[in-house]
Amino acid sequence: MTPLVGVLALQGDYAEHEYALASRGVTTRRIKRPADLVGIDGLVLPGGESTTMLKLLAIQELEQPLAAAIEQGLPTFATCAGVILLARSVVEPEQRSLGLLDLDVARNGYGRQIYSGTFDLEVESCRGFESPMRGVFIRAPRVLAAGPSCEVLARRDGDPVLFRQGAILGACFHPELEPQHQVVDSFVASVCAFAAEEQIDEHLARR
Ligand code: GLN
């Protein structure tokens, strides 16, 4: 059985995430309303404009069910605006957030669009990722502080830009925009492991 990943599709680069997952043999479903969350093995919160996403999450009454699914341990991949949605606090300007990632972030913390680009990252050794790693940053959030429950996996000039907290994998950059990026591969591996465990649980429950 191929795993099914829900991609939050209210706004932003959800189509690029769909393409990246499809190229790895993963089936996707667009998440636009609470019922769409039923039965998924993973979740993507794409890049885009976090303010707009917050408004649309409220309109669609999706915020609570989405947060509940993530808190229950659904493998979740958040990129850029997705990280802003999950952070514990957001500044520049201040903005409400779901508080599921132990991070303080500044929106557009690397400057305006002219400062966007591709940068070499420093990979933390022994964390399951390999050097070299590059990251495409587009008006990206900058992490001002990372709490102890958030494990830093890679940095840009010392700033945390790739992290894991429980089943959440977060990137301030856009691995989905590059072919064969190891961060997308890692998310797919965690989704496959989760789907396999679910299948075993279902099988045991039926006996
Ligand atoms: N600047 C956007 C925000 O603040 C994030 C940009 C992105 O997702 N590439 O929401």
Q: Residue of the nearest CA to atom 2 in ligand 1?
A: 49
The best mutation among 94, 98, 114, 138 to test binding of ligand 1, ranked by most ligand atoms within 8 Å of the C-beta, falls on: 138
- Please state the atom number of ligand 1 nearest to the C-alpha of residue 140: 6
Q: Interior CA angle at 22 toward 13 and 188, to 5°?
A: 90
How far is 183 from 142, CA to CA, in rounded Å?
Answer: 19
- 97-106 pLDDT, tens per residue? 999 999 999 9
Q: What percent of the chain has pLDDT over 70?
A: 100
What's the predicted TM-score (pTM) here? 0.96
Q: What is the end-to-end Cα distance of the chain in Å, rounded? A: 20
Confidence of residue 9 (pLDDT cuts 50, 70, 90): very high
Whether the CB of 82 sits within 6 Å of ligand 1: no
Whether the CB of 49 sits within 6 Å of ligand 1: yes
Can you give the pLDDT at residue 198? 85
Is residue 207's pLDDT more than 80?
no
- Please state the atom number of ligand 1 nearest to the C-alpha of residue 46: 8
- Please state the atom number of ligand 1 nearest to the C-alpha of residue 84: 10
The best mutation among 45, 94, 98, 108 to test binding of ligand 1, ranked by most ligand atoms within 8 Å of the C-beta, falls on: 108
- 121-133 pLDDT, tens per residue? 999 977 889 999 9
How far is 140 from 111, CA to CA, in rounded Å?
Answer: 8
- Please state the atom number of ligand 1 nearest to the C-alpha of residue 47: 8
Can you give the pLDDT at residue 1? 73
Can you give the pLDDT at residue 203? 82
* E strands present in the chain: 4-8, 27-31, 42-45, 76-79, 87-91, 101-106, 117-123, 133-137, 142-146, 151-156, 159-165, 168-171
Residues carrying an active site annotation: 80, 174, 176
Can you give the pLDDT at residue 98? 98
The best mutation among 50, 52, 110 to test binding of ligand 1, ranked by most ligand atoms within 8 Å of the C-beta, falls on: 50
Other CB atoms within a 10 A radius of the CB of residue 2 amount to 10
Is residue 85's pLDDT more than 80?
yes
Domain boundaries, the chain: 4-206
Is residue 161's pLDDT more than 90?
yes
Can you give the pLDDT at residue 202? 81
Confidence of residue 53 (pLDDT cuts 50, 70, 90): very high
Domain covering 4-206: architecture: 3-Layer(aba) Sandwich (3.40)
What's the gap in Å between 164 CA and the centre of ligand 1? Answer: 19
